[in-house]
Amino acid sequence: MQKFIIIQARMTSTRLPKKVMLPLCGKNVLQVMIERLEVFKDEIIIATTNDGSEEPIVNLCNKLGVRYYRGDCDDVLRRYYEAGVKYGAQDMDIIVRLTSDCPFVDAQIVQECIDAFEKNGYDYLSNTIKRTFPRGLDVEVFHFQVLQESFFRAKKPFEREHVTPFIHTTNRDQFRIGHFSTPEDNSHYRLTLDEAKDYEAITRLYALLGCKTDFDYETLLKVLQQNPFIYEINKEVEQKKMA
Asked if the model's pLDDT at residue 241 lies above 90, the reply is: no
- pLDDT at position 242 is 57
Give CA–CA dist 106/32, Å, rounded. 12
Q: Where are the domains of the chain?
A: 3-188
Q: Which CATH architecture has domain 3-188?
A: Alpha-Beta Complex (3.90)
Asked if the model's pLDDT at residue 238 lies above 90, the reply is: no
Bridge partners, residue 109, by sequence: none
Give CA–CA dist 24/18, Å, rounded. 13
- pLDDT at position 14 is 87
- The pLDDT of 165-169, averaged and rounded, is 96
Q: What confidence tens digit (pLDDT) does each residue in 12-47 have?
A: 998 999 999 999 999 999 999 999 999 999 999 999
> 49: pLDDT confidence band, cut at 50, 70 and 90?
very high
> 243: pLDDT confidence band, cut at 50, 70 and 90?
low
How confident is the prediction for the chain on average, in pLDDT? 96
pTM of the predicted structure, to 2 decimals: 0.96
Q: What confidence tens digit (pLDDT) does each residue in 63-121 have?
A: 999 999 999 999 999 999 999 999 999 999 999 999 999 999 999 999 999 999 999 99
Q: Are 202 and 191 in contact (CB under 8 A)?
A: yes
- The pLDDT of 237-243, averaged and rounded, is 71
Q: Are 92 and 13 in contact (CB under 8 A)?
A: no
Give CA–CA dist 163/87, Å, rounded. 18
Q: Are 176 and 122 in contact (CB under 8 A)?
A: yes
Asked if the model's pLDDT at residue 131 lies above 90, the reply is: yes
Asked if the model's pLDDT at residue 185 lies above 60, the reply is: yes
169's CB contacts (< 8 A; 6+ apart) are none
Asked if the model's pLDDT at residue 206 lies above 60, the reply is: yes
- pLDDT at position 183 is 96
